[in-house]
């Protein structure tokens, strides 16, 4: 095992290689839970509509950023949509769910007024363009937990 | 201060050990909506925001950033302050400065902690970098255990007095619908049944880890008078920090050091002509992490002479019906969403001054109140609030 | 503003990829010592201290605990701002203007070298909707870069030009971490991190600290012959979820700039501001933030970067110090911009001096894709 | 009274919680002042503290570049601490609490204590004696060093604990 502390060369200064290890758990809340459960159980992508400005938020949220009203009306949106932006990320980190390179994208699903932040799969990064039509691919049932990762990725629609 | 500042709205969530029905931003949003309703303002009226929590407890970076939509701060100025347990007070202080400086007319302080995200004791232990003190600091509990031992030795207080503090807090909390622990304790036996966390601190001596949020709306003099029939004036505030003592983190068990509480209290009282606190101030909401600390704080805030804090408890002076009520809300032993805790003290003191505290309204008329906070290595913040200028 | 608040001293450490030789406290004190020496004041003269640090980077609950002694907080007032360092200046303005404190010490420090950067950065993303995807500042910035560049036709060459100019300007800055002569080809040929962002499109890991003293007009005139006045200050939040924002625009910055300009009586920023120091951790941010700051119209940032306007000797020299790209810790970057603006307005920027600079802009941001934006206008008369 | 939030009824049978259990790694530096303590402990089995040039007070835990009280530069005047003293106060942990630096529930079996060193400095450390019935305030104690040079290098923790002694 590596030593916990290490003396710097040529000076009386020590570096401590340590960690902060406190597990954290975050509640999704009523609206968030419902959204994640629909992904898991029914492979449905749900949004919420603002009664004031009519904007449909996907993923479902409870508050409108402009009106500050509570969003109470549930709307199912299409699993297909348009790529608003994307990146091919080459730097790996221990949180990433799959190995790099990862293609991240923001997709505006048909029927939604906001973008959905997720990953893209089955893509040739060279051919990817803003405006590409994509569709959601879900994980298979036994791998599908109530989480944003119930969706495996979005893939380009075949022309 | 340049311009006068008043509290024109307060709101809090119920405080509880776990909130699964809301996510963190939604929980905080509840308190924002409650405060807006109290102030009869719309979110559009709020010109700027100050956020406050202790960042480590939820394991987040920039925790304010995740809740901007839910608190209605998109497109608005603001920033987050952090620090020790006093962070909420420092947030209210900064919001007062923004209004007093004339930069804004209406500012909202948004404070919270959602302890079901993590482990507060572990979070506090992480205040000691292992390179300097690994394994020797265990949360706040061990530090308040030292404080308790010293207090027992110096003042002659006994466990019965700690029990009386706990029972007082519980009686008050049971009248406060927002309080976290409302246990209905019957007497000394219930207290003595409680196990030790770190000797001599029992589970019942110590504050819980709560989920909750508290919001206050502050306004300039001109606006305040229009917004609320009963604005509560922030007359003055004082903050005194302190580096860790060589012998303890939250107190000096050796009895040889000056406390920040004494320093803050002396400065605040002197500036405001307060020579006899219990005569000139009607009520206090103090940040008491433990029963023993409450008795000690009575002394450091000059509610009584040194080593006589336990006598105030014994005589019932600080009861809700007493001559000088302390923590009619149930205090921190009943509810402790840390980042919000100092703001709750200020909000509760304001409600008492307005006469709007409902079931836990103090018996005596409250025109002047102080609200305090404790944090870090014995940091103190104090607010002086009044019904009229 | 009715009364005036002055910066009477500003100092920075040299930025460095790894300051393991000092603790956070010692690092901050390196900068604090300089502002004390410059003004002849002592820590006992400071009525309030504003620290700027974040628990997650320091690896300590209550990060400011380690600073209590070097800011002289004993029995005094200390407050920690958990946004970019420029916001400490905003707090200081309110403390002085409210009459609550006369003399305020500000310090911002960060050691990026002691953390796993992307693990820390990931903690800012919404835990339910984004964090599990493994996003960090760079991958999120790349989403913004692509959106912005695609929408307005900004080219990688234009972004690279910002890098070339900033790195070159840094050669005149003794505090700069990586001053360098690079070409557009060097930038475009550097290793890709997250498309379209390449290694040279972003800043290296950096450690450093910045400190300042701010005070009232009356006291400032006693302390220094060259006080620098805060003429306008503002900031603004944007919503969090990346899909809710139009990433090609920066509305929060537009709002923050408008407010700061109106306080400072500026209606034509390009002609009224002599020098700008802006925080750009990624090259695409320079044209984007310049749009937000109103130096050009929406979508015109690329052309502005192409022109001579931003060069030394141009109409609006941007980042004579080299800015953030040659290396600043992200929590210090904005306060460093203010410090550089102070040097410019005092005529002390050495080889990087913009002749006759009277009005300067400093900009800082915090969070993913510039979620929190802050603008400050400074003047020397 | 509109000062509280509605207590929401559960809308569904199931609430989702998302867990993260990834330690954050840090490389903390002692810096020069604490580094001096580390060096003296490791090389010489000595505990040292800087002395303020103004108030002459020793700042043992932890040392700092500025005297907290005088608010002046500490300088570089180091004094060796005596490692015998008396127990001023001790406590003990009954219920193991989560140790963030270990990532597990842990309680130090050695009672944390404040020791009044023979030069009048209060020093925080822990005690060897784990049977708290045998402990009393005022007992004489002496530091016990980690004797293995290779294992030293942990600063204050190069002292394992304080042992009660008969004098």
* Mean pLDDT for all residues in chain D: 89
A119 touches chain C (CB under 8 A): yes
Of C21, C133, C142, the CB nearest to A117: C133
Tokens of B176: 């406060």
B194 touches chain C (CB under 8 A): no
Q: What is the pLDDT of residue A2?
A: 53
Is residue D114 located within the same domain as residue D56?
no
Of residues B250 and A18, more confidently modeled: A18
Inter-chain CB proximity D101 and A21 less than 8 Å:
yes
B22 touches chain C (CB under 8 A): no
Q: What is the pLDDT of residue B316?
A: 97
Residue among B28, B32, B56 with most chain C CBs within 10 A, to mutate:
B56
| Per-residue pLDDT tens digits for B169-180 | 999 999 999 999
Residue B39 lies in a domain: yes
* Number of structural domains in chain D: 2
Residue D59 lies in a domain: yes
Tokens of D76: 């570089």
Q: What is the pLDDT of residue D15?
A: 95
A138 to chain D nearest CA, in Å? Answer: 19
A36 to chain D nearest CA, in Å? Answer: 8
Residue (of B2, B20, D61) closest to C98 by Cα position: B2
Q: What is the CATH number of the domain that holds D127?
A: 2.40.50
B90 to chain C nearest CA, in Å? Answer: 7
Residue among D30, D63, D65, D103 with most chain C CBs within 10 A, to mutate:
D65
- The gap from C-alpha B249 to its chain's centroid, in whole angstroms, comes to 19
Residue among B70, B131, B359 with most chain D CBs within 10 A, to mutate:
B131
| Rounded Cα gap, residues B373 and B381, in angstroms | 5
Among chain B residues, the shortest Cα distance to D3 is held by B11
Q: What is the pLDDT of residue A124?
A: 93
D25 to chain C nearest CA, in Å? Answer: 6
Domain boundaries, chain C: 5-116+206-223, 117-203+228-379
Is residue D110 located within the same domain as residue D72?
no
| Rounded Cα gap, residues C125 and A54, in angstroms | 26
Residue (of B247, B244, B215, B218) closest to B231 by Cα position: B218
How does DSSP assign B176-217, residue by residue? -TT-S------SHHHHHTSPEEETTEEGGGB----EEEEEEE
Tokens of B165: 């503090």
Is residue D94 located within the same domain as residue D159?
yes
* Number of structural domains in chain B: 1
Average pLDDT of span B271-295: 97
Of residues B227 and D167, more confidently modeled: B227
CATH architecture for residues C5-116+206-223: 3-Layer(aba) Sandwich (3.40)
Q: How crowded is the C-beta side of B116, counted as CA atoms within 13 Å?
A: 19
Task: Answer whether residue D8 shows pLDDT above 60.
Answer: no
B-chain CB neighbours of D30 within 8 Å are: 131
Query: Taking CB atoms and an 8 Å cut-off, how many pairs form between chains C and D?
Result: 73
Kindly provide the residue ranges of all beta strands, DSSP E only, lying in A28-101, ordered along the sequence.
Answer: 45-49, 56-57, 73-77, 80-89
Residue (of B309, B295, B307, B281) closest to B382 by Cα position: B281
Is residue D155 located within the same domain as residue D95?
yes
Q: In which residue ranges of chain C is pLDDT below 50?
A: none
Chain B, residues 320-339, CB within 8 A of chain C, namely none
| Rounded Cα gap, residues C93 and D61, in angstroms | 35
Mean pLDDT is lowest, of B103-107, B121-125, C37-41, C156-160, for B121-125
Q: How crowded is the C-beta side of D42, counted as CA atoms within 13 Å?
A: 18
B53 to chain D nearest CA, in Å? Answer: 19
Q: Which chains share 3+ C-beta pairs under 8 angstroms with A?
A: B, C, D
Q: What is the CATH number of the domain that holds B31?
A: 3.40.47.10
D43 to chain B nearest CA, in Å? Answer: 18
- CA geometry: angle at C108 spanning B93 and C214, to 5°? 60
B342 touches chain C (CB under 8 A): no
Among chain C residues, the shortest Cα distance to A101 is held by C194
Task: Answer whether residue D72 shows pLDDT above 50.
Answer: yes
Residue D64 lies in a domain: yes
| Per-residue pLDDT tens digits for A104-126 | 999 999 999 999 999 999 999 88
| Rounded Cα gap, residues C312 and C310, in angstroms | 7
CATH class of C117-203+228-379: alpha beta
B-chain CB neighbours of A16 within 8 Å are: 129-131
Chain A, residues 5-64, CB within 8 A of chain C, namely 8, 11, 13, 15, 18, 20, 24, 26, 28, 32, 36, 57-59, 61
Task: Provide the residue range defining the domain that includes B27.
Answer: 5-120+209-227
| Per-residue pLDDT tens digits for D75-105 | 999 999 999 999 998 888 777 888 888 888 8
Contact A111, A55 (CB under 8 A): no
Among chain A residues, the shortest Cα distance to B19 is held by A27
Among chain B residues, the shortest Cα distance to C121 is held by B61
| Per-residue pLDDT tens digits for D15-63 | 999 999 999 999 999 999 999 999 999 999 999 999 999 999 999 878 9
Is residue D167 located within the same domain as residue D117?
yes
A141 touches chain B (CB under 8 A): no
B94 sits in which H/E element: helix B87-100
Q: What is the pLDDT of residue B256?
A: 82
Q: What is the pLDDT of residue A14?
A: 96
Among chain B residues, the shortest Cα distance to C137 is held by B61
Inter-chain CB proximity A29 and D15 less than 8 Å:
yes
Of A18, A32, A63, the CB nearest to B130: A18
Among chain D residues, the shortest Cα distance to A15 is held by D29
Of D27, D29, D72, the CB nearest to C22: D29
Residue (of A36, C122, A116, C127) closest to B23 by Cα position: C127
Task: Give strand pairing partners of A133.
Answer: A82
Residue D146 lies in a domain: yes
Inter-chain CB proximity A30 and B43 less than 8 Å:
no
Average pLDDT of span B80-90: 93
Between β-strands B196-198 and B211-220, what pairing exists: parallel, antiparallel or unpaired?
Answer: unpaired
Contact B260, B372 (CB under 8 A): no
C126 touches chain B (CB under 8 A): yes
Task: Provide the residue range defining the domain that includes D152.
Answer: 82-167
D18 to chain C nearest CA, in Å? Answer: 7
Inter-chain CB proximity B83 and C59 less than 8 Å:
no
Inter-chain CB proximity B61 and C97 less than 8 Å:
no
* Mean pLDDT for all residues in chain B: 94
Task: Answer whether residue D4 shows pLDDT above 60.
Answer: no
Of residues B49 and B199, more confidently modeled: B49
Inter-chain CB proximity C68 and B243 less than 8 Å:
yes
Q: What is the pLDDT of residue C4?
A: 92
3 state DSSP class of C354:
coil
How deeply is B327 buried, as exposed, middle or buried, from its count of CB atoms within 10 A (0-12, 13-18, 19+)? buried
Inter-chain CB proximity D22 and A7 less than 8 Å:
no
Same CATH fold, C117-203+228-379 and C5-116+206-223?
Answer: yes
Residue B137 lies in a domain: no
């Amino acid at each position: 095992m590596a030593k916990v502390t290490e003396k710097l060369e040529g000076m009386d200064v020590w570096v401590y290689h340590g960690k902060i290890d406190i597990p954290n758990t975050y509640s999704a809340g009523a609206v968030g839970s419902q959204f994640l459960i629909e992904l898991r159980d029914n492979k449905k992508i749900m949004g919420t509509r603002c009664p004031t400005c009519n904007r449909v938020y996907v993923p479902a949220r409870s508050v409108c950023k402009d009106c500050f009203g509570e969003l109470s009306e549930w709307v199912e949106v299409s699993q297909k949509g348009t790529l608003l932006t994307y990146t091919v990320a080459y730097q790996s980190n221990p949180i990433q769910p799959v190995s790099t390179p990862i293609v991240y994208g923001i997709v505006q699903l048909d029927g939604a007024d906001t973008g959905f932040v997720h990953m893209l799969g089955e893509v040739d990064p060279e051919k990817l363009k803003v405006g590409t039509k994509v569709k959601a691919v879900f994980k298979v049932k036994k791998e599908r937990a109530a989480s944003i990762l119930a969706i495996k990725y979005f893939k380009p629609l075949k022309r | 201060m340049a311009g006068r500042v008043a509290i024109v709205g307060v709101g809090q969530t119920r405080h509880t050990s776990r909130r699964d029905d809301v996510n963190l931003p939604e929980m905080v949003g509840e308190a924002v909506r409650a405060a807006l309703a109290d102030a009869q303002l719309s979110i559009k009226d709020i010109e700027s925001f100050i956020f406050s929590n202790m960042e480590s407890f939820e394991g987040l970076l920039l925790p304010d950033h995740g809740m901007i939509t839910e608190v209605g701060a998109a497109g608005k100025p603001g920033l987050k302050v952090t620090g020790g347990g006093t962070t909420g007070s420092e947030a209210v202080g900064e919001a007062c400065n923004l209004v007093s400086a004339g930069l804004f007319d209406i500012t909202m302080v948004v404070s919270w902690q959602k302890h079901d995200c993590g482990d507060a004791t572990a979070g506090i232990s992480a205040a000691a970098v292992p390179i300097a003190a690994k394994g020797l600091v265990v949360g706040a509990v061990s530090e308040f255990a030292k404080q308790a031992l010293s207090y027992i030795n110096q003042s002659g207080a006994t466990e019965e007095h700690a029990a009386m503090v706990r029972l007082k807090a519980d009686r008050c909390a049971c009248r406060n619908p927002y309080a976290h622990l409302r246990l209905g304790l019957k007497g000394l036996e219930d207290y003595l049944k409680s196990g030790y966390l770190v000797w001599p601190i029992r589970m019942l001596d110590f504050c819980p880890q709560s989920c909750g949020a508290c919001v206050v709306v502050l306004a300039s003099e001109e606006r305040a008078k229009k917004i609320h029939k009963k604005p509560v004036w922030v007359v003055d505030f004082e903050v005194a920090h302190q580096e860790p003592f060589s012998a303890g983190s939250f107190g000096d068990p050796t009895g040889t050091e000056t406390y920040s509480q004494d320093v803050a209290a002396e400065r605040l009282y002197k500036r405001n002509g307060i020579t006899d606190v219990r005569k000139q101030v009607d009520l206090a909401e103090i940040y008491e992490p433990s029963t023993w600390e409450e008795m000690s704080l009575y002394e450091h805030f000059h509610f009584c002479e040194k080593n006589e804090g336990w006598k105030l408890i014994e005589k019932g002076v600080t009861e809700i019906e007493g001559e000088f009520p302390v923590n009619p809300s149930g205090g921190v032993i009943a509810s402790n969403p840390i980042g919000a805790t100092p703001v709750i003290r200020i909000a509760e003191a304001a409600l008492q001054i307005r006469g709007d505290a409902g079931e836990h309204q103090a018996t005596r008329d409250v025109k002047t109140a102080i609200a305090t906070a404790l944090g870090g290595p014995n940091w103190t913040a104090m607010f002086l609030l009044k019904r009229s200028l | 503003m009715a009364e005036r608040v002055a910066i009477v001293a500003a100092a920075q450490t040299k930025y460095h990829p790894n300051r393991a030789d000092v603790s956070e406290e010692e690092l901050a004190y390196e900068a604090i010592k300089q502002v004390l020496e410059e003004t002849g004041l002592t820590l006992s003269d400071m009525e309030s201290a504003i620290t700027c640090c974040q628990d997650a980077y320091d690896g300590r609950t209550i990060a400011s605990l380690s600073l209590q002694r070097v800011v002289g907080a004993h029995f005094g007032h200390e407050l920690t701002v958990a946004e970019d360092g420029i916001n400490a200046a905003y707090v200081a303005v309110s403390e002085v203007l409210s009459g609550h404190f006369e003399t305020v010490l500000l310090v911002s420090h960060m050691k990026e070298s002691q953390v796993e950067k992307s693990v820390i950065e990931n903690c800012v993303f919404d835990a339910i909707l984004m964090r599990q995807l493994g996003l960090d500042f760079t991958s999120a910035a790349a989403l913004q870069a692509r959106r912005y560049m695609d929408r307005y036709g900004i080219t990688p060459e234009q972004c690279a030009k910002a890098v070339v100019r900033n790195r070159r300007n840094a050669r005149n800055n003794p505090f700069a971490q990586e001053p360098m002569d690079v070409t557009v080809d060097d930038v475009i040929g550097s290793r890709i991190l997250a498309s379209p962002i390449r290694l040279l499109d972003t800043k290296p890991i950096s450690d450093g600290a910045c400190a300042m003293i701010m005070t009232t007009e009356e006291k400032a005139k006693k302390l220094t012959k060259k006080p620098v006045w805060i003429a306008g200050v503002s900031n603004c939040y944007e919503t969090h979820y990346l899909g809710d924002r139009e990433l090609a625009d920066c509305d929060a910055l537009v709002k923050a700039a408008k407010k700061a300009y109106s306080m400072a009586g500026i209606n034509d920023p390009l002609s009224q501001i002599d020098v700008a120091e802006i925080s750009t951790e990624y090259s695409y941010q320079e044209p984007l933030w310049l749009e937000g700051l109103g130096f050009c119209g929406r979508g015109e940032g690329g052309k502005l970067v192409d022109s001579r306007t931003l060069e030394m000797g141009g109409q609006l020299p941007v980042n004579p110090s080299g800015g953030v790209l040659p290396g600043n810790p992200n929590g210090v970057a904005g306060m460093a911009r203010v410090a550089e603006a102070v040097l410019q307005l005092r005529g002390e920027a050495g080889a990087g001096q913009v002749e006759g600079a009277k009005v300067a802009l400093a900009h800082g941001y915090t969070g993913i894709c510039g979620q929190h934006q802050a603008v400050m206008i400074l003047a020397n008369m | 009274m509109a000062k509280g939030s509605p207590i929401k009824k559960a809308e569904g049978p199931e609430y989702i919680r998302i867990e993260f259990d990834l330690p954050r790694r840090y490389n903390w530096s002692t810096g020069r002042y604490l580094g001096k303590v580390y060096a003296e402990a490791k090389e010489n089995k000595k505990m040292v503290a800087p002395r303020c040039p103004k108030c002459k007070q020793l700042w043992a835990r932890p040392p700092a570049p500025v005297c907290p009280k005088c608010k002046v530069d500490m300088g570089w005047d180091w004094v060796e601490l005596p490692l015998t003293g008396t127990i001023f106060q001790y406590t003990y942990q009954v219920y193991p609490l989560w140790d963030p630096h270990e990532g597990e529930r842990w309680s130090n079996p050695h009672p944390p204590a404040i020791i009044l060193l023979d030069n009048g400095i209060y020093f925080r450390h822990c005690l060897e004696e784990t049977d708290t019935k045998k402990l009393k305030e005022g007992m004489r104690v002496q530091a016990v060093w980690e004797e293995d040079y290779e294992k030293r290098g942990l600063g204050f923790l190069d002292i394992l604990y304080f042992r009660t002694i008969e004098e």
